[in-house]
Structure 1
Amino acid sequence: MSKQNPKSKYRKEPAKTTGRAAEKPVAKVETPEKKSFIKERTPEEKRKEHRDGIIKTVVAAVLGIIAGVICFSLYGTGEDRQWYAILMIVIGLTYFIQKLIYPPIKIDIKEFKFKDWFYVEFVIIDFFLVTWTLLLN
């Protein structure tokens, strides 16, 4: 075995401190706070987003109820149809109907993301299925 060189980087010695240095408190290094890039919304913007959310939900619910009533009147129990085809037709038609409805009521559809479209279509499908089921009973 070979001896380690005193300047070897693998050999670590504890730092020697004097009595005075050990008594002094360690100064804390202040790090600059990370700035968040989240835009603060004004109360007016919050109210507008809340109002728009309510309108989107109500429009989706009404479209779902209308789709349920129409499917009940056209297909009745729907035994002779494939259920997933009916769902795809409802999703497709209500998507385009919403694209026509929202601009006149001052809701910007350009700001819609996938999450928003998924939410309103989910509400439509829920109301559609519940309405159709209630009418079948």
Structure 2
Amino acid sequence: MSKSSNKKPSVAKKEVKPADDAQPAPTSSHGRSQFKMRTPEEKKQAHKEGIIKTAVAAIIGMVAGIIAYMQLGVGDDPTVKWYVIMMFIVGISFYVMKLSFPLFKIKPKEFGFKDWFYVEFIVIDFCLVTWTLLLN
């Protein structure tokens, strides 16, 4: 007898065919909205807005770095601490971005904590990098 004749007959499995209008299952996560499928146009618009947010924050950071270099130079004044300067830059850049984003058709009222943290990190990062490059 061969080994193939000892095999058990395979059981037919049910095949699940996805419907054309299949949507992700709704999620209930403590009052949060349900997951919404985005159209390609919405994805393209979100990508465009992300690039604009990053570019505006980078430009503001570079300008802040140039101003910090012009006003403070090396920053060896013992009465002014660098972290105080960074907090001033964060505060000023917040209001500059809040006023400049509507010019690019971006609604800053829809920003959450994560969005603001992201753009402020970009500002501080570009400010410190620009200031450091100018010091060398």
Give TM-score scaled by structure 2 length.
0.74
Does 1:119 find its partner at 2:109?
no
Measure the CA separation in 1 of the matches of 2:92 and 2:111. Answer: 18
Q: 2:40 aligned with 1:50, yes or no? A: no
Shift of 1:68: 0.2
Deviations for 1:82-110, whole angstroms, at most 9, x for unmatched residues? 11110000000000000000011100111
- Partner residue in 2 for 1:136: 135
Inter-partner Cα distance in structure 2 for 1:35 and 1:45: 21
Matched, 1:106 2:121: no
Q: Which digits, 9 at most, give the CA deviation of each residue in 1:40-75, with x for residues without a partner?
A: 111111010000000000000000000000010011
Which one of the candidate residues 7, 10, 25 is aligned to 1:35?
A: 25
C-alpha distance in 2, partners of 1:66/1:132?
Answer: 10
Instruction: Give 1:60's aligned residue.
Output: 57
Q: What 5-or-longer segments of structure 1 have no aligned partner? A: 1-33
Look up the match of 1:74: 71
Within 1, Cα distance between the matches of 2:54 and 2:90? 15
Cα deviation for residue 35 of structure 1 reads 2.3
Root-mean-square deviation (CA, aligned residues, Å) is 1.4
TM-score when normalising by structure 1: 0.74
Q: What CA distance in whole angstroms lies between the structure 2 residues aligned with 1:67 and 1:83? A: 13
Q: Provide the rounded CA distance (Å) in 1 between the counterparts of 2:38 and 2:131.
A: 41
For this pair of structures, how many residues does the alignment match? Answer: 105
Of all paired residues, the percent bearing the same amino acid is 55
Aligned partner of 1:16 in structure 2 is: none
Q: Which runs of 5+ in 2 are unaligned?
A: 1-23, 27-33
Following superposition, the deviation at residue 121 of structure 1 comes to 0.3
Distance in 2 between the 1:123 and 1:104 partners?
Answer: 19
SS of 1:102 mapped into structure 2: helix
